[in-house]
Structure 1
Amino acid sequence: MSTKIVVLIIGVLFVLIALLASKKSNSKLGIPLGILGILMMIYGSYSSEFVNYNSQIEQVSTGKKLKISGPVNAVKVVSPIDKDSVDCRILTMGVYPESHKKDIWAIIRPTDDRYYPQSDHTNTSYKRDGEWQVVTRFGGDKGEAYDLIIYEVDSTASSFFSSTIEKWKEVDDYPGLKLEEMPTGAKEVERLKIYTRKNCRGVF
């Protein structure tokens, strides 16, 4: 559980204690606790991943789209396209063959040469009816180049990526993975070069 969620919970408890104190005519204790509790609730809720996630959904955009014709016989990115310039937060979308059973992960590699698994609340890319998608976030300077790498992964590698993201969220620090830290069960299936069309540093 993150520190921000703990602050939110403590804030709720303080408000409840303040309400009980007011019923017992103990306003000297109730009023300060109530004010402190409300402030903690505001801080905890507006800085927690729940509110951040909602704001990310509202601002997500899409890049240029690739036209796919004929049967799909491999995992493929439909949007963005290679050499595309994109916003700070986009929806990476693609297709996969009907027989495909593995998880699909989008991972970005910026100029720091680290690997950053991308996820929304489902962690793995959302798959349905031959299409997949995942929210992808870029945090660099305007015009910075990124490798957008698509992996199909086994269950062990997928669990590794999910647990890594959870650990990063808990401490609110995203150091990325070195190449040697990437799990052996992740197989690269496509790589695109993507550029940011605005300054995204410090957005997330």
Structure 2
Amino acid sequence: MPISNISRVKTITLKINADSNNIQVVYSNNNLAVGGELIPNHKIISFNCFVKNLRVFANVPTLEEAPLPDYQLTDTATAKLVKTIDIEWKSPRKQLNLYITNAINPTNNDWLQVGSLSLINPYGYPFRVYNILDLFTDNLALELGENGKIGINVQDVGYGLITDNDRVVVHGSYVEEVFVETPQAPNVFNINLSGNTAGSNTNTPNEPTVPNYSVGNSSLIDNAFLLAN
């Protein structure tokens, strides 16, 4: 059977639940399985998912504002880096953890943590946007195979969980590439046993032409003999 490739682009949108540290699924491809059907009579033989864009919008006004780094003219590049890290990880914050798994029905033990980031309330800005795809891969896209899943949760590190007054949203996009077996249409022939010549084709220009065959004998027995021989 011929093999066809089907690509579809989808959007990721997920709001982090308030007062919860449960892992929420950002993406799952459980709805696809090798041997299953994407559409009727089109069996899946292979598929991949490519997460192309994955970001987090964070507005956490319930935290105290984190100050700007106090750089001095005499600071070295290393000293400036240390001050920046201290602002990120020692200010009042909430911690966002990222996970991945290939378990069909994952429990907490099945999720493997691959990264964390610090949600702070930056001085002078009402929100922050984080590119979390960088925590999964250095490539242009994250490739996920069969049963691949991405999860996320918020951890209380001494400043509480997300509240109803906070807003943390995961958004992005992914491409699913599915290879399917395409059924081949059978050949169809019209055979005229009336003894008349085949009529003209009346198909519209967009319809396939079906060949007509005429057997020019009036006897049905003779026609059957001709067809058999």
Q: Normalising by the residue count of structure 1, what TM-score does the alignment of the two structures yield? A: 0.29
**Larger RCO (alpha carbons 8 Å, 6+ apart):** 2
Higher helix share: 1
Higher strand share: 2
Q: Which has the larger radius of gyration?
A: 2
Q: Normalising by the residue count of structure 2, what TM-score does the alignment of the two structures yield? A: 0.27
